[in-house]
Amino acid sequence: MFEINNIIFLKIYQFSIEFLIIRVEYQQVPLNVYHEKNCNMPAGIDDLAIYVPKLYLDYKDFAQARGIDPQKLEHGIGIKKMALVDTNQDAACMASNACLELMKKNNLHPDDIGRLYVATESSIDESKALNSFVVGMLEQVYGDSSFEHAGGIECKFACVSGSYAIYDNTNWIRAEENNDKAAIVVVTDIAKYDVGSAGEYTQGAGAVALLIKEEPRLLALDPKVTSTIIKNEYDFYRPFGKETPLVNGLYSNLLYLIQVRKAFDSYKEKAMRTGLIHLKDGESITDYIDLFTVHLPYRRMGEKALAYLLRHEWRTLPRWQHVIKEIGFDEPVPNDSRGTIESTLADKEFMKADEQFRKAFMQTSFYNEVYEQKMASSLEASNIIGNLYTASMYMGFRSLLECEFKKHHDIEGCRVGFGSYGSGSSAMVFSGVIQQSYKEIVKNMNLEEEIGFRKRLSMDEYQILRENERNLNESYARAKNEFILVKIGGSTADKAGFREYCYCN
Ligand code: CAA
């Protein structure tokens, strides 16, 4: 958005390219070419399973209680139901529930698993890793020490850490260190903000467990193109002992966009250098990504991230003049040429003009065509669950698979581009190709059914939950076929902080 060089270049270019054809032919890299050229052993996501807690807040109740227009929540943010954890649940229970579901549906035994990683920013202990709690719970079902042979850690980097965990475990398999075993990566989080804050309507909770294997049935990750970016930032953070994060909302939104775009630039360079994607004149790398799924703190943020990326990628291409023609006014240029986030945010005149332009761009047929074809399906789940931090992008991927299947779109061989973001801050961009046998798995997906019955909490009940006024054993929903937290702290001093879980039949 802020590259002045690109904008000047565009102005010169605009006059000479008026009548160039702007639509490019869809080009998909055939699967066999992909395998031969780039990877001897495809590895990636074989299957996934979800857990969403049984309580939710309805956006209309929330809007009324906080004096907000419900239209703002439904359309401006993109939330209808926010999932909430019960008194007897935490990130470890949710992770274990998702993991157990994944193992059951794939008839997996602990012997099949070589690594169990958990990525979260809702940790329950400063030292003891969350995956150790998950192992403890799973061993209640599979037997004492049944996971002893495996390894794994808890990973933290706000919402991006799950992507690092998947990348590392995929490489563990590619390096053939896995001894024929698979890895499970569980992303699990509780997004919780201060009562009355602007973040409060972007809450949610849930977990996704992903089975990482060679010859995966769902998605083979593209090798040698994964790209990351990292910088010390304070856009969103939660100091020790604090239950809710400190957030600079506007700053975090802009930082998300910029960091993902920078990681995408690096992805693009690698994709071209490795021959994964060959760009011809007038083409954009976004033409070669068939489906997008990005970090989703809320649905609208996904839509904005796509707009930001397309503007960045298309600005210097012949098609841009057609976009501008449809919009009817030029893209604004920052008054301040430093191009830092601070200088951009301080440039109020530019920010206002840029917001106007962004909104107009999102109304164009150009944006909407890409949005409908490549992103809309990934945003559906976010509407009825909310922010899941580490799990939000993977719930988006799950949503994409199910919705595309229900639309009768055959996505075999399609390339999915992932834009993962974690505050603090780091972004990771990577891609993968949907595999031949994906329908085997996707045909059985049904989000509403898998979530099951949920209790709609009143705002009074929510308030009580937020003030921790109910004990562990005073849950609102009745647990069935799932792990719950039954006790914190043992009876003796040497058991202080112990957490006890049990499986409820
Ligand atoms: N009808 C329809 N739409 C309306 C409306 C109405 N009556 N009133 C307002 N809106 C629209 C606004 O026009 C705006 O739309 P655009 O985004 O298209 O401009 C949208 O509703 C949001 O409204 P505001 O701009 O007034 O924003 P807000 O003050 O409500 O704050 C927020 C939004 C910054 C996201 C805030 O909820 C927040 O701080 N959330 C937590 C931080 C966050 O999620 N950051 C995202 C990036 S960081 C990250 O991704 C990590 C992570 O998971 C947290």
Q: Is any atom of ligand 1 closer than 6 Å to the C-beta of 197?
A: no
Q: What is the reported pLDDT for 340?
A: 84
* Minimum CA distance residue for ligand 1 atom 27: 198
Pairing of strands 236-237, 246-247: antiparallel
Q: What is the mean pLDDT of the chain?
A: 92
Give distance in angstroms: CA of 298 to centre of ligand 1. Answer: 8
Q: Is any atom of ligand 1 closer than 6 Å to the C-beta of 198?
A: yes
* Minimum CA distance residue for ligand 1 atom 53: 297
Low-confidence residues in the chain, pLDDT < 70 = 1-40
DSSP 77: I
Q: pTM of the entire structure?
A: 0.92
Give distance in angstroms: CA of 270 to centre of ligand 1. Answer: 33
Q: Which 3 state secondary structure label does DSSP give 115?
A: strand
Q: What is the reported pLDDT for 25?
A: 36
Q: Is any atom of ligand 1 closer than 6 Å to the C-beta of 70?
A: no
Q: Are 101 and 51 in contact (CB under 8 A)?
A: yes
Q: Which of 64, 197, 253 to mutate to test the pocket of ligand 1 (most atoms within 8 A of CB)?
A: 253
Q: What is the reported pLDDT for 21?
A: 32
Q: Is any atom of ligand 1 closer than 6 Å to the C-beta of 413?
A: no
Q: Which of 66, 231, 236, 379 to mutate to test the pocket of ligand 1 (most atoms within 8 A of CB)?
A: 236
Q: Is any atom of ligand 1 closer than 6 Å to the C-beta of 87?
A: no
Give the closest residue to 120 by CA, choosing from 129, 108, 111: 129
Q: Which of 251, 252, 420 to mutate to test the pocket of ligand 1 (most atoms within 8 A of CB)?
A: 252
Q: Is any atom of ligand 1 closer than 6 Å to the C-beta of 199?
A: yes
Which atom of ligand 1 is the closest one to the Cα of 201?
Answer: 37
Q: Is any atom of ligand 1 closer than 6 Å to the C-beta of 366?
A: no
Q: Is any atom of ligand 1 closer than 6 Å to the C-beta of 59?
A: no
Measuring CA to CA, how many Å separate 315 from each of 1, 105, 290? 8, 46, 20
Q: What is the dihedral of CA 479, 480, 484, 490, to 10 degrees?
A: 90
Give the closest residue to 46 by CA, choosing from 173, 161, 164, 159: 173
Q: Is any atom of ligand 1 closer than 6 Å to the C-beta of 66?
A: no
Residue with tokens 């061993």: 139
Give distance in angstroms: CA of 379 to centre of ligand 1. Answer: 16
Give distance in angstroms: CA of 114 to centre of ligand 1. Answer: 41
**What gap in Å lies between CA 217 and CA 438, rounded to an integer?**
5
Q: Which of 77, 257, 300, 351 to mutate to test the pocket of ligand 1 (most atoms within 8 A of CB)?
A: 77
* Minimum CA distance residue for ligand 1 atom 38: 199
Q: Is any atom of ligand 1 closer than 6 Å to the C-beta of 97?
A: no
Q: What is the reported pLDDT for 58?
A: 98
Which atom of ligand 1 is the closest one to the Cα of 74?
Answer: 2
Q: Are 29 and 289 in contact (CB under 8 A)?
A: no
Tokens representing residue 292 in the block: 């997008």
Give distance in angstroms: CA of 116 to centre of ligand 1. Answer: 35
Q: Is any atom of ligand 1 closer than 6 Å to the C-beta of 421?
A: yes
DSSP 485: E
Q: Is any atom of ligand 1 closer than 6 Å to the C-beta of 236?
A: yes
Q: Are 398 and 210 in contact (CB under 8 A)?
A: no
Q: Is any atom of ligand 1 closer than 6 Å to the C-beta of 157?
A: no
Q: What is the reported pLDDT for 11?
A: 42
448-474 per-residue burial string, b: 16 or more CB within 10 A, e: under 16: eeebeebbebeeebbebbeeeeeeeee
Burial, 326: exposed, middle or buried (Cβ in 10 Å; 0-12, 13-18, 19+)? middle
